[in-house]
Structure 1
């Protein structure tokens, strides 16, 4: 099968959606499919051979973070050429209603289309504002996937329709077999606690963790905190500087270093305050054998099987986080079954299982389609795009 994947977010700065698209593409290629990925990326950005860069992105604040998107008439022309020349049996669009490449591809293409929805949010004025235009376009997406129950809830609540839940994937064995790093490995009486996330995104929860450190170190004086991720976080650095070597800021780390960090740490902490639809980093940490302590967000509760595969604390409550960390660090025997359960749970998220479920959706969509992917003739004019948004078929 020849598959076109579209990523709306830039490959210049990787996040969860970009990693999902990259890993899915590589697993599909490994299984013998032909794959082309269209994604924002600047000319000098190193990308895999299967990625077609669409040009420079624009940073836009979105859902408590910054999304790097790609849009405009020039980009639209690139999308049109990619669709027209691709000869795809199927298009798989990620976040198709974010104003970027996936939405442009949905306008341009007609035929077998799968859409994956990654976002979770409580309220969205932007989605409410654009829903009269984008909701009719749902008809062009014949197979809909949500990466979690929370992402599905957001789709149903804001745009209507429904989706099958297929989670994000992880190459479990890459984390399980990573080599621990002696600099980060815990010892008896000196356990290590790891955090990874954008330091300057408040929703990633670094301020919550920073507030909890004092109480943890009073109870476990030998504990060490390893904080990885890009961003300044000047206030948190100043607050934590008095703890000396007990707190280390590692800066940005590579995928290989991430796996080694998770293999080395006793505990991975996820203090996020909201805006999470899944929690792929929790699965990665569990795959490496770390015990996960996470905020009780609905998405995190789902990944941790309601707390049987990890420990949960009250979202935004530094005292609750500190108590939970002290509990798992001072009683490792009690925490052992939770850690073991986490290593069992992650197998359901391995790409070998996730890709099979995605291919089941592909087969359903292709089997019921009339033709392969082709250019939607309405997309060449403003009037035609309005007709497409109104849900009229190309032959109408």
Structure 2
């Protein structure tokens, strides 16, 4: 099957949507499917460890969105380039991730003849959703199957765009998270791993990450020798840090539709202490210690509780839980739906 996957976000910037796009492309490619990934950032030349063909267009911008900064392109020329790449590839199915984000997917929703699957990742409303709602409600008529990555994302997409999304959770490439040796130290290492933005709540738990909040957070931690800012890390370094730490801290204040990094930590056999918010509760169930966002005292108690309760049975149960959302199982589910839409025998015109 020929599968085209569109990411509105540049693959050169780490993020949950980008992780899903690349993970799906790797799993589909390993099964012998032909995959084209279309994304912003014409200057990105990395292969991103995927066998897929990568087509990147436009200049990458960093635009405020949902308490974060989204690495998008707003270039109509990039959108036209993406449309030409899709036409040349002649996919059996087009899979759009976060189609509400401008701009690459919008022309595809209007014009491309192949069956179209759309996966919605965002949780929460905001000015961007309000502004694009009328346009996206019209464009959504071009979606053959709408999927959300969580109940929180479903509520957002259904309300904003008049859809009835099926829920298929994000996928984890399980084997990639135990490729590095497990390390333990007398003093436990607590890891915050993510973009340093207000929404991520890093000032509750001050660290591998980079972003607009880094200077302020480094100033907060300047007199504490136990706190280290590693900066932006590679995928390999990310996996290594998750194997080296005693616990991952995820203190986000909201706006998280699923919490992929929490499952990555569980897959790495690492404890998780996370904010008690919708997307995180849905992802980890009972396999993490939850604390109210923005409450450092409660977080200190939660961390102590998690470390005291650590044991092989709990760690194994956490990895087994993460395995329920393996990328292999997710791709199985999507392939079944692609075939149900008539993909696989050549592009089907709507």
TM bin, normalised by shorter chain, reads over 0.9
SS of 2:95's partner is: strand
Determine whether 1:372 maps to 2:350: no
CA displacement 1:106-165 (0-9 Å, x = unmatched): 1231331111111111x3233233322221322211111111111111111211211111
Q: CA deviation at 1:40?
A: 0.8
Partners of 1:195 and 1:32 in 2: CA distance: 37
- How many angstroms apart in 2 are the aligned matches of 1:77 and 1:172? 36
SS at match of 2:342: helix
Select which of 301, 307, 310 maps to 2:288.
310
Change in CA separation of 1:300 and 1:75 when aligned onto 2, cut-off 3 Å? same
2:168 matched residue in structure 1: 166
SS of the equivalent of 1:170 reads coil
Could you tell me whether the CA contact under 8 Å between 1:7 and 1:17 is conserved in 2? yes
In structure 2, do the counterparts of structure 1 residues 356 and 324 end up closer, same or farther at CA, with 3 Å as the change threshold? same
What CA distance in whole angstroms lies between the structure 1 residues aligned with 2:147 and 2:230?
Answer: 36
Alignment of 1:217-366 (within 5 A): 227-231=207-211, 233-244=214-225, 246-305=226-285, 308-329=286-307, 331-333=308-310, 337-366=313-342
Deviation at 1:186, TM superposition (A): 3.3
> 1:70–1:237: structure 2 CA closer, same or farther, 3 Å change rule?
closer
Structure with the largest fraction of helix = 1
Secondary structure of the structure 2 residue equivalent to 1:277: coil
Distance 1:353 1:177 in 2: 20
When the two structures are superposed, what TM-score results if normalisation uses the length of structure 2? 0.92
Cα contact 2:8–2:103 (8 A) shared by 1: yes
CA spacing shift, 1:139–1:327, aligned 2, 3 Å: same
Compute the displacement of 1:80 (Å).
Answer: 2.7
- For 2:25, the equivalent position in structure 1 comes to 25
Q: Distance in 2 between matches of 1:68 and 1:186?
A: 36
Separation in structure 1 between the aligned mates of residue 345 and residue 248 of structure 2, nearest angstrom: 48
2-structure distance, mates of 1:156, 1:96: 13
Query: Which structure has the greater CA radius of gyration?
Result: 1
Indicate if the aligned counterparts of 1:87 and 1:373 stay in contact, CA closer than 8 A: no
Distance 1:36 1:163, change over 3 A: same
Task: State how far apart, in whole Å, the 1-side matches of 2:215 and 2:95 are.
Answer: 40
Deviations 1:170-223, CA, capped at 9 Å, x for gaps: 11122123224xxxx4334x1111111122x0111111114xxxxxxxxxxxxx
Per-residue CA shift, 1:27-86, capped at 9, x if unaligned?
Answer: 111111111111112235323561011121222111111112123332232123123222
The answer to whether the Cα contact below 8 Å between 2:91 and 2:114 also exists between their aligned partners in 1 is no
Segments of structure 1 that go 5 or more residues without pairing to the other structure are 211-226, 375-393
Which residue pairs with 1:103 in the alignment? 106
Q: Is the 8 A contact 2:92 2:345 kept in 1?
A: no
Q: How many residues align?
A: 346
Q: Is the 8 A contact 1:205 1:272 kept in 2?
A: yes
Structure 2 unaligned spans of 5+:
none
Match of 1:202 in 2: 198
The structure-2 alpha-carbon separation of the partners of 1:151 and 1:86, relative to structure 1 and needing over 3 Å to count, comes to same
Distance 2:10 2:121 in 1: 15
Equivalent residue, structure 2, for 1:83: 86
1:93 aligned residue (58, 72, 96): 96
Preserved contact between residue 2 and residue 87 of structure 1 (Cα < 8 Å): yes
Give runs of aligned pairs for residues 19-58 of structure 1, distance below 5 A.
19-43=19-43, 45-47=45-47, 50-58=53-61
Seen in structure 2, the aligned counterparts of structure 1 residues 256 and 297 have a Cα distance that, compared at 3 Å, is: same
Offset of residue 336 of structure 1: 5.3
| 1:325–1:132 Cα change, 3 Å | same
